[in-house]
Amino acid sequence: MADIKPEVMRKEKYLNWNIQEKLTSGKKVTVCLLKADDRELLSDFFESVPEDDQYYFYPHPLDKENAKRLVDRSTLDKNIRIVAISRLKGKDKIAGYIYAELISQDLYSYGICIRREFQSEGLGGKLTRHLLNTCKETGVRKIQLTVHKTNKRAIKIYRKYGFKITGEFLNKRQNVVQHKMLLKL
């Protein structure tokens, strides 16, 4: 155990963490850290995200190769990746994915993506609450995100959790203005 980094040790208590949540529609999900055996589930989830939803999810490509990379690194790095799993048509499927990824010495980047069938059911809020609690308990102090300036619904939700707008920039890849938001834990 001596060669394991302290931040990984802090995450160890969450590895077997399975929290049952009921959504506003009555659907049930299990919230847990992304694990090595979730590779196919994450790949399937990424492939299921419609193109118009992908437009708002900028941090990394939603493809099979990236799913493999993220899952393979999920328990080895300082990043926190959480999924909500539900039964759809008799199979386990990821209903939502959220993460906090280290981008500098003390700053993490936040990203969230919810499967279309689970949007507007409170899942984003539940995942955000679990992520922020996990971040606090593992020593994360600052989280930033970027959001399209026109995405008023998302901005309202982020403000609800304490994120504050700290500036804006032109996302050159998409040619849109985005807000930078920051949360100090």
What would you measure as the largest C-alpha separation in the chain, in angstroms? 48
Spans of all domains in the chain: 6-144
pLDDT of residue 50: 86
CATH pick for 6-144 out of 3.40.630.30, 3.10.20.70, 3.20.20.140, 3.40.50.720: 3.40.630.30
Please give the Cα distance from 4 to 26 (Å, whole number). Answer: 40
Please give the Cα distance from 26 to 157 (Å, whole number). Answer: 21
pLDDT of residue 1: 33
pLDDT of residue 15: 57
CB 73 within 8 A of CB 117: no
In the DSSP assignment, the letter for residue 168 is E
pLDDT of residue 45: 92
pLDDT of residue 12: 56
Residue ranges of the chain with per-residue pLDDT less than 70: 1-16, 58-60, 74-77
**Average per-residue pLDDT for the chain:** 86
Close Cβ partners of 18 (under 8 Å, ≥ 6 residues apart): 30, 31, 32
